[in-house]
Amino acid sequence: MARAGLAGLALLGLAACSPHSLPLHGGKSARVEVGGSVFLVSYTGTRAEATRISTETRPERMVMLYRALQAIEAASGCAVLPGTLYGDWSLAEAYLDCPGTPPQTIQPVLTHRPRVAARPR
């Protein structure tokens, strides 16, 4: 029983070391430096994420997002699809507009439908 627990803990630890999220599994990765920030960029033909791996003291969020955008475009060779970049000080994600691939159509998926009380007539 204790061995199974240790094995599970070791597996969880190895999964935490994965350099990118599951939707980018099988994609490419590159290390890119932009403006003094170093990013590990993982990308496919349609999507990318940039993880800041450099140590910086209190970077401005918008500066980091702009640097992440530049890192994503430099690593992937694709333009970031306008309006799709989001993230914070350490991780940014975006959809890509790559030459030779069909344009991406972003359609939100409703994952939760709140209950609405019926109105009295």
pLDDT at position 91: 94
Residue ranges of the chain whose pLDDT lies below 70: 1-20, 22-23, 107-114, 118-121
The 10s digit of each residue's pLDDT in 82-116 is: 999 999 999 999 999 998 888 777 766 666 666 77
pLDDT at position 9: 56
For 18-40, b where at least 16 C-beta lie within 10 A, e where not — what string? eebeeebeebeeeebebeebbbb
Instruction: Please report, for the chain, the start and end positions of each structural domain, with discontinuous segments joined by +.
Output: 19-97
pLDDT at position 54: 95
The rounded distance, in Å, linking the Cα atoms of 8 and 72 is: 34
pLDDT at position 37: 96
**Global pTM?**
0.71
